[in-house]
Amino acid sequence: MTRTQTDAPAPPLPRGTSDALGELRRRHPGWAARFGVDDPVYALPPTAIDSLGRPAGSRAVPLFDEPTADAEREFARLCASNHVVGVGPDGPVAFHLLTDTALDIESPVIAGMGWTAAQLQTVQELADRGAGTRPRLRGVVGWLLTEPAFLRQVADVRRLYQGLPEAGRPRFPLARVVPVPGTTGGERWAAFAAALRALLDRWGLMSLAAWDLPDPQGPLLPDHLPADAVARPAHGVYVYVPVHYPLQGDDALQRQVAEFQRQQAVGLGIDPSFAGNTHHETYGQMFRVLHLERAVRHRFARPPRGLAGGIEAAAAAALRLSTDRVQRLRKWVNACRAGNRSRVRDLRVAV
């Protein structure tokens, strides 16, 4: 990643950056000059900012001085008010698995839509369904970001992307490319489009919100997509259940679906632990810790003394976990990324 010195002029504003962010940069030039323009800058949770602004453990001084903490809080508020997680080269980065908020059907915005009581009930039911799905999908992201095969494939796609002329690169989020009749992007474009689609199809993704934020496909209930639709996931278990058939919580059909998931994972050359993701809560925590650690490390051109301890304290505060739990999660992330997922007892899958 390209970095500038803290006393160097601030880099040009990335494409699509809002006027509010430009104003923030002008008020806090020293903070803004820490970042290059190649990778996203992610907002930190307010509790993490507070933690990083206090000395902890062996740190004689806080990792954030007061001006830095002020800038971080303002950036966090700006991102939260726009329901985004940060800002990248193509502008604000939206990622619903990190910004989910409860729906208030009595809010002025919803009330002003003029919906009937039945319509409001439907909206609330859909929101509740999403609230139950998001934690499971966060676990999928955590598994993916700790899987060497996935990270290698992302790196390959990124190299092809960077080989495209800058003016012709598609903007994030990166989704399946739909060819336009009568146009061509050349061999390099075709190679990138094919590699991106292969990545999304193999791992069951809708898009890449950023290189380190894969957006996995959730369940389609019911599935009204045409069989030849571009948006249709390339793999998954399609099940027809009659309206009258009573499924039970321990039904054999559910066990059969889980077995089909395992068979598909093996067929795709993916570790069987990906199927069903039975440890999605733990992987979700691993994702949150990993994301926060990347965001914090992005603030420093060189790791300062006490950075690891500061990250652990900040993650514990932001995620409401014990420091011991955060330390274990970080160890498991490193073990998985080193190809030792099966050696982590807490992540083993019962056969």
Collect all residues with Cβ–Cβ distance below 8 Å to 94 and sequence separation of at least 6: 83, 84, 85, 173, 209
Question: Does residue 94 belong to any structural domain of this protein?
Answer: yes
pLDDT tens digit sequence for 190-206? 899 999 999 999 998 99
Kind and range of the H or E element at 323? helix 323-337
What is the CB neighbour count within 10 angstroms for residue 183? 7
DSSP state letter for 178: -
Give the side-chain half-sphere CA count within 13 A for 120.
14
**Helix extents (H) in the chain:** 19-27, 29-32, 46-52, 66-81, 96-99, 108-111, 117-144, 148-162, 186-203, 252-267, 280-297, 307-319, 323-337
Collect all residues with Cβ–Cβ distance below 8 Å to 3 and sequence separation of at least 6: 34, 35, 36, 301
Give me 322's structure tokens. Answer: 């014990």
Q: What is the mean pLDDT of residues 153-178?
A: 89
Beta bridge partners of 174: 208
Kind and range of the H or E element at 181? none
Question: Does residue 335 belong to any structural domain of this protein?
Answer: no
Instruction: Kindly calculate the radius of gyration of the chain based on its CA atoms and give it in whole angstroms.
Output: 22
3-class secondary structure, 15:
coil
pLDDT of residue 107: 59
Q: What is the mean pLDDT of residues 263-286?
A: 84
Question: Does residue 45 belong to any structural domain of this protein?
Answer: yes
Phi, psi dihedral angles at 153 (to 5 degrees): -65, -40
Question: Does residue 53 belong to any structural domain of this protein?
Answer: yes
Q: Let me know if 187 is exposed, middle or buried by CB neighbors in 10 A (0-12, 13-18, 19+).
A: exposed
Question: Does residue 214 belong to any structural domain of this protein?
Answer: no
Q: What is the mean pLDDT of residues 330-351?
A: 90
Question: Three-state secondary structure along 222-257?
Answer: CCCCCCCCCCCCCCCCCCCCCCCCCCCCCCHHHHHH
| Tokens 């993490």, located at residue | 48
Q: Which residue has the higher pLDDT, 308 or 7?
A: 308
pTM of full prediction above 0.85:
no
Q: Is the pLDDT of residue 158 over 80?
A: yes
Q: Is the pLDDT of residue 1 over 50?
A: no
Q: Is the pLDDT of residue 229 over 60?
A: no
128 pLDDT band, cuts 50/70/90, is low
181 pLDDT band, cuts 50/70/90, is very low
pLDDT of residue 8: 33
CA 34, distance to chain mean position in Å, is 23
Is residue 309 within 8 A of residue 52, CB to CB? The reply is: no
What is the CB neighbour count within 10 angstroms for residue 161? 17
Q: Which residue has the higher pLDDT, 245 or 173?
A: 173
Question: Does residue 59 belong to any structural domain of this protein?
Answer: yes
Between 119-128, 131-140, 336-345, the lowest mean confidence (pLDDT) is in 119-128
Report the C-alpha gap between 91 and 10 in whole angstroms.
Answer: 17
Question: Does residue 305 belong to any structural domain of this protein?
Answer: yes
Question: Three-state secondary structure along 45-64?
Answer: CHHHHHHHCCCCCCCCCCCC
pLDDT of residue 246: 60
Is residue 310 within 8 A of residue 170, CB to CB? The reply is: no
261 pLDDT band, cuts 50/70/90, is confident
Please give the tally of structural domains in the chain.
1
4 pLDDT band, cuts 50/70/90, is very low
Question: What are the respective helix, strand and coil percentages of the chain, to the nearest 5?
Answer: 50, 5, 45
Give me 119's structure tokens. Answer: 């319509």
60 pLDDT band, cuts 50/70/90, is low
pLDDT of residue 243: 47
Q: What is the mean pLDDT of residues 8-23?
A: 54
Report the C-alpha gap between 269 and 271 in whole angstroms.
Answer: 7
pLDDT tens digit sequence for 65-107? 999 999 999 999 999 988 899 999 888 899 999 986 655 556 5
Q: Is the pLDDT of residue 165 over 70?
A: yes
Q: How far apart are the first and last CA of the chain?
A: 42
Q: Which residue has the higher pLDDT, 9 or 135?
A: 135
Question: Does residue 91 belong to any structural domain of this protein?
Answer: yes
pLDDT of residue 85: 94
Domain that includes residue 308, residue range: 19-102+280-318
5 pLDDT band, cuts 50/70/90, is very low
186 pLDDT band, cuts 50/70/90, is confident
